[in-house]
Structure 1
Amino acid sequence: MSPITMVEGRRLSLTNLDKVLYPRTGTTKGEVLHYCTTTADALLAHLADRPLSFLRYPDGPDGQRFFTKNVPPGTPSWVKTCEVPHSTSGPTRQVVIDGLAALVWAANLVVELHTPQWTCRAPGIADRLVFDLDPGEPATIVECCLAARWLHARLTADGLDVHAKTSGSKGLHLIVPIEPAPSERVTAYARHLAVEAARALPDLVVHKMTKSLRPGKVFIDFSQNSAAKTTAVAYTLRARATPTVSTPVTWDEVADCTEPEQLTFLFSDIAPRCAAHGDLLAPLLDPARARPLPGAA
């Protein structure tokens, strides 16, 4: 029988807790759930009021993986959902994680957690801007850090507050709190800066997705600002060979990065980092830190 546990007054059936999800490290599903509960304060803060997309990998990263935005079959009636506009097939409903019980339920499905740059209260109106810096082999996160430093300076010159986190995969995410603006306008501004970066750093950066242009360079993906796109949430585990986490980092860590291992964080690294730094992305949650995009009325 699957163990039944009570979380915030909700009965949850937790399955296959001894199942090894990450063979290289021997990490079990029970350890994954424990990570989510011990990191819940930070995770929940960044999930609040945002429709959730799931990358599910129930048999570990080497097994079947599938991405879904719809509410999964069997979702308990008490799990919050919100209606999300859809450009072609009409509105759909997606899960919103609003507490520890819902987070444990989602973690039991074995998922990466992805959200858009807008909240359920204002679909398509972004309250943050994102750049996904993706290295093309043999480039690594080291090269991403060089591109990130240029973007940091450029965004700061425009009066914006810039924060960084690892993707938990190969690259780096830059996140900027902004005064609410239509996703189309945010995407246009992000594209403008990506093009500018490619012109300023032609040996390092590309802004086009064309794969033939990307080896050895950093692709600045601005498209995740589109209303239909999502980005991995801070502190989510990733479906990688080892249990890596999308981890907030300091700008000193970005500046000092000379080896990819310096910015590779496993789930066991997160509690000590939170104890030392707190939530480095907490400023994203403070409306007072949001700034208007340049040229906004």
Structure 2
Amino acid sequence: MPAGGQPTVVRVAGREVRVTNPDKRLWPVDGLTKWDLVDYYVRVSPFLLPHLRGRPLVLTRYPDGIDGEWFYSKNAPEGAPEWLRTWTYHHESGPNHYIVAEEAAALAYVANLAAIELHPWLSSCDTPEEPDFAVVDLDPAEGATWEDVRQVALLVREILRAVGVEGFPKLSGATGLHVYCPCAPGHSFRDTAEFVRAIGRLLLRIDPERVTLERVVARRAGKVYVDYLQNRLGQTITAVYGLRPRPGAPVSIPVTWDELRTGDVPEVNLRTVWERLRRVGDLFAPVLDRRQDLRPATAALQAEAGTQRPAPAHEPGSGEASNWQHLSEDVPPLGAI
């Protein structure tokens, strides 16, 4: 870190980025500073940038550290460098001029804004009305445990296997878990929301003691909320490899289904993530290339509301079949919920 905490100009891949207050403690208990934040996002850029390129970015900024006031930022600040890509979307409330981070210097720039959390859109600037993936967001309410989240996630995997869809899990970096299901071009946000909602309804049938779709927070106590409403235009999920404003500076990282099955799930942070990346690389890379039509799977899940059970489907490459009977015996139809 530069001595004396004075502003300094750093060169990042040929760009100059000014870092102000580099010794400002953003994680006070952990002794981590804004300089650590800038350094992290520049170093992790080879893994992170592929998942941000072409996507509008919402920042969560903590100018006084994780214990201070914070705010969302949807607009590039005045005076942003000319080389920083921005993109304008006209919402009903008016236009927003989003940052689009496509190079390491852009990550250094947003880190200097004390943007600890990075939230990319689920769709791209080229096709904002069409998501690139559906996200099953498992959010434990007060009283629910990580074990509850893990068990529900494993049920999600079985449901996905039953309808022939591949999902990729990542830890939220807080208490929850996200499962990304890449989709082919042409899906609408209605399509992806209905897909996740159908999964949520089946989860509720299978494990009503753990799962809730209740939108009122006070009524979710002790359960894992399946937030299918995250699948909307302009909604965001914390970025893979993004930092979280929590003690220890945890990172939202991909995990394998085997790690979830065995319970051997790593906890990594700003300081320890490098060994994980060296060992496993980018487990989320397939999310960028996989294309799946989720609509037949949605229809199969919705068919569970009736009397017909869809035929078993195979997970790509697994060679193992899974079906509804394996998930749950003698459960009431979805229409009864």
TM-score (norm 2): 0.82
Q: How does 1:237-256 map to 2 (within 5 A)?
A: 237-256=243-262
Tell me which residue corresponds to 2:181: 176
Checking the alignment, whether the CA contact within 8 Å between 2:138 and 2:178 is kept in structure 1 is yes
Structure 1 distance, partners of 2:132, 2:294, is: 11
Alignment counterpart, residue 65 of structure 1, candidates 61, 70, 81: 70
- 1:265 Cα deviation after fit: 2.1
**Match of residue 202 from structure 1:** 208
Q: Which of 131, 142, 147 is 1:137 aligned to?
A: 142
Q: Distance in 1 between matches of 2:296 and 2:179?
A: 21
Secondary structure, aligned partner of 1:36: helix
Q: Distance in 2 between matches of 1:50 and 1:158?
A: 29
Say if 2:191 and 2:295, in contact at 8 Å, map to a contact too.
no
- Taking the aligned partners of 2:20 and 2:271, their CA distance within structure 1 comes to 22
Q: Which entry has the higher C-alpha Rg, 1 or 2?
A: 2
- Matches of 1:26 and 1:268, distance apart in 2: 12
Amino acid at match of 2:241: Y
1:210-289 aligned within 5 A:
210-257=216-263, 262-286=265-289, 289=290
The unaligned stretches of length 5 or more in structure 2 are: 1-5, 300-337
- The residue correspondences of 1:26-41 to structure 2 (distance < 5 A) are 26-41=31-46
Cα shift at 1:167 = 0.6
Tell me how far apart the structure 2 counterparts of residues 108 and 93 of structure 1 sit (CA, whole Å): 19
Give the partner amino acid of 1:100.
Answer: A
Which one of 2, 7, 23 corresponds to residue 2 of structure 1? 7
1:212 and 1:190 map into 2 onto residues whose CA distance is 22
Comparing 174-183 and 70-79, the one that deviates more: 70-79
Partner Cα separation in structure 1 for residue 124 and residue 79 of structure 2 = 24
3-state SS, counterpart of residue 126 of structure 1: coil
Runs of 4+ in 1 over 6 A off after TM superposition: none
Alignment partner, residue 58 of structure 2: 53
State the AA in 1 paired with 2:292.
R
Of 11, 19, 24, the residue aligned with 2:16 is: 11
**CA distance in 2: counterparts of 1:89 and 1:211, whole angstroms:** 26
Normalised to the residue count of structure 1, the TM-score between the two structures is 0.93
Give the drift of 1:77: 2.0
Aligned equivalents of 2:50, 2:270: Cα separation in 1 = 18
CA, structure 1 residues 257+24, in 2 after alignment: closer, same or farther (shift >3 Å)? farther
Q: Distance in 2 between matches of 1:104 and 1:47?
A: 14
Q: Which runs of 5+ in 1 are unaligned?
A: none
Indicate the residue corresponding to 2:308 in structure 1.
none
Give yes or no for contact 1:161–1:290 (8 Å, CA) kept in 2. Answer: no
Equivalenced residues, count: 291
145-154 vs 70-79, which deviates more?
70-79
Shift of 1:138: 2.1
